[in-house]
Structures are given as C-alpha cells and as structure tokens.
Chains A and B, each alone.
Chain A
Amino acid sequence: MDGNLNALTTIFTEFYYWVTVVFMFLIHVGFCMYEVGVSRRRNHMHTLMKNIMIIPLVTVTFFFFGWWIYWAFPNFPFFGGLNHEMGDPNLPWSETMGTNLSDRITGVFWAAFLLFSWTAASIVSGSVIERIRSSALWVHAVLIGSVFWIIDAAWGWHYEGWMVKYLGYHDAYASGVIHAIAGGYALGVLMVLGPRLGKFAKNGTPRDIPPHNPWMVTIGIFLIYTGFWGFYAACNVPAISPEAIGGEITGTTWTATNIYLAPTSLSAITFNFLMSLSGGLMAAYVVSKGDAFWTFSGGLAGIITASAGNDLYHPIQAMIIGAIGVVIVYKLHYWVERRFKLDDAVGAVAVHGYSGVVGLIISGFVLWGAPSSPFEGYATINPIGQTLGAVIMFFVLGFLPGWIVAKMQNAAGALRIPEEVELQGLDYAEHHTYEDAKSEIIEADKAYLANK
C-alpha cells in the first residue's frame, strides 16, 4: 500500500466488503427461519440442519475450487482455455489465499462471493423441504454453490466473461446469475423428487400446506430483505479510478462500479432497491388478493426482477418493472403447479427463477444499446443477448444439472426419504429421544427430592 490515498482506498474497500458479508449472513438466517416456519412441527430440526450444513459444505468447497473457477473460467471452454494467470492466485495453495500483508482484498472478496453461493444453495433447499434426504440436498448444495453458479458468474458476471463480451449480457445485481440459475436448479430437482404426500388430491387439485408459524416466516423474509442490502452493496466495486479500471473511461473522476467495472453509484442502487421492493409488494398484494406470504415474497420478487438493470434504471422504472415481474411470476407459479403437479414448498422457483428470467428479458429492452462494459469491443446490452443469457442461466446451468443429478440420485434410491418416515416426520427419532430424556431427568429429580 504505497501512499496514503492508496492505503485509505484499500482499507476502505476491505472494510466495505467485510460489512457486506456480515449483512449477507442475515440472508441465511432469514432462509433458515423461513424454511422452519413453513415446515410442519414434525420436520423442524431436519429442515434446519439441512440448511445450516450448507454453510460449512459450500464454504470449504468454495475455498478448494469454487473461487478458482470464477477466475479461470471466463472464456472456458467455448472461447478459450483456462485463464491460469487469473486462476492460479486463487487456488487454495496460493500465497494470496491466506494471511498476506501485500493482499488485503482477496479474503473479503472471496467471502462476498461465498455468501452468494450460500444463497444459491439455500434457494434450492427451501423448495424441497419435508421429503428430500439431507445427503442428497447437500450434494446439490455443493454443485449449485461451488460449481454451477460460479461457472455462470465467470461467464456472465465477470469483466472478462464471454457472455458479457459477445452477448452484451448485463446482470448487475444477479437476476440471472443467482436467482434464475437457483430457481431453474430447484425446478430440475423438484421434477424428479415429486410432491409431498397429500399435496395433491386424487383429481389433481393442489392442497395448501400452511406454515406452522407465520410469524417466523414473516421475520425470516424481512431478514432476507435486510441481507439483500448487503448483497446489493457487495455487487459493487466501491471506489475505483479510471486508470485502475484500464478501460475506455477518460479523465480522473473516481466512481463506484458494478461487477463489470462500469460506472454506477450506491445512491442509484438504493433508490432502485427500495422502489422495486415497493412495486413488488404493491403488485403482489393486489394479484394475490392480500395473501400475506405472497405479498412478502412479492417484495423479494420485485427486487429480483429489477436487479439485472438496477444499476442504471430510473427509480420509477424499477418500481414498474418489479410490479410487472410479480404479476407474471404469480400467475406462472399457479399454472405450473396445476399443470405439472409441482410442489415448491416456498415458491422458490417462481420468486427466484421466474423473476430472474423475466427481469433479464425486460432489461434487454429497457437498456437496449447501453454499453455492457467499459472495455472496447464488447457487445452492447440487447434483448437477444439477455434472453439467451436467461436460457443459459435458468435452463442450461440450472435446470439441466439439477434434473440430471436428481435422476441419478433417484435411480440409486438416494433422493427421497421413505414414505413411512415422511408420514411420521423426519424428527420422529429426535422427538422420542427428547421425550425419553425429559422423563428420565424428571424422574431422577423427583427421586432425589423424595430421598432428601
């Protein structure tokens, strides 16, 4: 860190990403609360453990290979080989992947991406509760969290990614690279996994399985909103000079940028986050006829729909786009549920997957012709590139891997819990151990008292 300005910028950037990581932890807390709140009492502990163990499993695998994929894969395998120059410093045995006083950014930047990985895995986790085997989900968590989402990030969420260069792909706050892929992946798993017992009547009519604790669900989603602030900030580079970017920008004015190093501001994304949240909440309230949980999820869906272009939209555009997205997503959710007998316990495929896809397509029109990158020769943002990008995210890197791996697990009898266990509840054994332990200690205390 030569010079005071350089030192201040480095320390500020380090602290900035660190704060976003702490904020984003709330997303995972929110997902856990939401899942447990939605699940029935007989499945609580397993539902919670299934999601909690995503944290260590995705963390260690993201350290071992996920982070390297991001730096090595921007053009691999279609437009070039592995990028060893960028990849090697991010291998787990590299000197920069540890305490190193000449690199204060890699650790916090790695962590910011890692928290996105948890989110991607957690989105899948919610949709499959109460009937998937934890062992099966944890394999999916590693695949979506440390392999597939980070491949899509290398391709479409990296300043050198081939999707950005050739398609003009633009996805500033991850409509596609996190939400569409995770929703698509969840859909692939759900197609093989099947619905919970009793979800559909004999004539195919879906039954509602209400949450056991609505307040827990409510606080859970509000925590997700809160963590989403950190997510948005983490998608930016907080302060950088045109010289450091090394692209076409002239002059000496420093700026915040999106992940593609194209200018935006924290102020812009604060406007747009709140307006798209509001548009989503208002539209969801109307379209769901005041259903509380769809209204709350609609807020999230509104943000996700607008996220692809929230670095550039006008706040009113963000509000309207959020609202339009929610209406489409809500209708699509119930159509798919009835048509394909799909039991998505938390609506994750719709709220994340469909919103992400719709958001990408809309942004292709609204931002048509805008530069996707500060570097020369990149395609500009366009509807075809954004639509192709949505297909790659939702279907190619999301749905297909989820469906194929779930098929393999199903063939091996390793995907779904036995019917008897599903009826008794996953926590059956723990409940008995708890009750036995309780009676034993009460009896022991009574005996002690009697002998005194």
Chain B
Amino acid sequence: MSTIGLESWAVDLAEVGPVYPFQGWEVAMTIVGVVFWLGWHRIQYLRENEHLKNVRDIGDKEKIAKALERY
C-alpha cells in the first residue's frame, strides 16, 4: 500500500501522471482548504471586533491628543 499510488519507481515516467498522496480526494481536500480559509476570516473578524472595542474604551482625550502628536 502506498499513499501516492506507486510502491516503487520501476515505471516509465512517460506513463505517470499525478504522484501526490490520496489521489481521488481532491474535492474533499479543496473543501477542507476552503473551510480553513473561511474559518480564518471568521476568527480574524471576531478578534478584530473585540480589539477595536477594547481600544475604543481605553482612549481619553489627553491620550488621543498625545497619539496625534506622535504622528
């Protein structure tokens, strides 16, 4: 058993196509990849919301004025 479909390199390379593991599972792998990507956006969005909310609560006029001076 070999995950790439070849157990040895005793082949004619002219007749070999894909050699990545788990051929036939490309659609499933794509779904996993897309879930990873969308999940990243979801986590990042929620964290950014929380961060902006916290930062907004911290600022008073004096601090904001100092931040403006820093440019």
Q: Are A319 and B7 in contact (CB under 8 A)?
A: no
Q: Are B22 and A371 in contact (CB under 8 A)?
A: no
Size of chain A's interface in residues, with CB distance under 8 A? 35
A251 CB contact (under 8 Å) in B3, B13, B29, B37: B13
A312 CB contact (under 8 Å) in B7, B10, B13, B19: B19
Q: Are A369 and B3 in contact (CB under 8 A)?
A: yes
Distance between Cα atoms of A86 and B46 in the complex (Å):
59
Residues in B whose Cβ lies below 8 Å from that of A370: 2-4, 6-7, 21
A263 CB contact (under 8 Å) in B3, B19, B32: B19
Residues in B whose Cβ lies below 8 Å from that of A289: 47
A314 CB contact (under 8 Å) in B2, B14, B29: B29
Q: Are B32 and A320 in contact (CB under 8 A)?
A: yes
Return A243 CB to nearest CB of chain B, in Å: 12
Find residues 6-43 in chain B having any chain A CB closer than 8 Å to their own CB: 6-16, 19-22, 26, 29-30, 32-33, 36-37, 40, 43
Whether A286 is near chain B, meaning CB under 8 Å from some CB there, is: yes
Residues in A whose Cβ lies below 8 Å from that of B32: 316, 320
Distance between Cα atoms of A253 and B13 in the complex (Å):
6
Find residues 130-164 in chain A having any chain B CB closer than 8 Å to their own CB: none
Whether B1 is near chain A, meaning CB under 8 Å from some CB there, is: yes
Distance between Cα atoms of A255 and B8 in the complex (Å):
16
A286 CB contact (under 8 Å) in B7, B33, B44: B44
Q: Are B3 and A366 in contact (CB under 8 A)?
A: yes
In the complex, the chain B residue whose C-beta lies closest to that of A373 is: B9
Residues in A whose Cβ lies below 8 Å from that of B40: 282, 285-286
Return B50 CB to nearest CB of chain A, in Å: 10
Whether A301 is near chain B, meaning CB under 8 Å from some CB there, is: no
- 0/1 interface trace, chain B 35-71, chain A, CB 8 Å (1 if under): 0110010011001000000000000000000000000
Distance between Cα atoms of A290 and B21 in the complex (Å):
32
Q: Are A247 and B1 in contact (CB under 8 A)?
A: no
Known: A250-B10, A319-B33, A371-B7. A380 touches B20 (CB 8 A): no
Residues in A whose Cβ lies below 8 Å from that of B47: 289-290
Distance between Cα atoms of A249 and B30 in the complex (Å):
32
Residues in B whose Cβ lies below 8 Å from that of A286: 40, 43-44
Residues in B whose Cβ lies below 8 Å from that of A314: 20-22, 26, 29
Return B5 CB to nearest CB of chain A, in Å: 9
Residues in B whose Cβ lies below 8 Å from that of A294: none
Return A281 CB to nearest CB of chain B, in Å: 10
Distance between Cα atoms of A253 and B12 in the complex (Å):
7
Known: A286-B44, A313-B20. A250 touches B33 (CB 8 A): no
Distance between Cα atoms of A371 and B16 in the complex (Å):
14
Whether A27 is near chain B, meaning CB under 8 Å from some CB there, is: no
Distance between Cα atoms of A317 and B21 in the complex (Å):
9
Whether A200 is near chain B, meaning CB under 8 Å from some CB there, is: no
Known: A285-B44, A289-B47, A314-B21. A249 touches B9 (CB 8 A): yes
Distance between Cα atoms of A376 and B9 in the complex (Å):
9
Residues in B whose Cβ lies below 8 Å from that of A251: 11-15
Residues in B whose Cβ lies below 8 Å from that of A323: 36
In the complex, the chain A residue whose C-beta lies closest to that of B40 is: A282
A368 CB contact (under 8 Å) in B3, B8, B36, B44: B3
Return A247 CB to nearest CB of chain B, in Å: 6
Known: A312-B20, A317-B21. A249 touches B14 (CB 8 A): no
Residues in B whose Cβ lies below 8 Å from that of A262: 9
In the complex, the chain B residue whose C-beta lies closest to that of A370 is: B4
Return B68 CB to nearest CB of chain A, in Å: 22
In the complex, the chain B residue whose C-beta lies closest to that of A251 is: B12
Q: Are A371 and B6 in contact (CB under 8 A)?
A: yes
Return B48 CB to nearest CB of chain A, in Å: 8
Whether A248 is near chain B, meaning CB under 8 Å from some CB there, is: yes
Residues in B whose Cβ lies below 8 Å from that of A368: 1-3
Q: Are A249 and B33 in contact (CB under 8 A)?
A: no
In the complex, the chain A residue whose C-beta lies closest to that of B19 is: A312
Q: Are B14 and A253 in contact (CB under 8 A)?
A: yes
Residues in B whose Cβ lies below 8 Å from that of A290: 47
Residues in A whose Cβ lies below 8 Å from that of B9: 247-249, 262-263, 371, 373-374
Find residues 312-358 in chain A having any chain B CB closer than 8 Å to their own CB: 312-314, 316-317, 319-320, 323
Residues in A whose Cβ lies below 8 Å from that of B36: 279, 282, 319-320, 323
Q: Can you list 8 pairs linking A and B with CB atoms under 8 Å apart?
A: A248-B9, A249-B12, A312-B4, A314-B22, A317-B22, A320-B32, A368-B1, A368-B2
Known: A285-B44, A320-B32, A366-B3. 5 other contacts (CB 8 A): A251-B11, A282-B40, A312-B20, A366-B21, A367-B4
> Which 4 pairs show the lowest CB-CB distances between chains A and B?
A251-B12, A369-B2, A248-B10, A253-B13
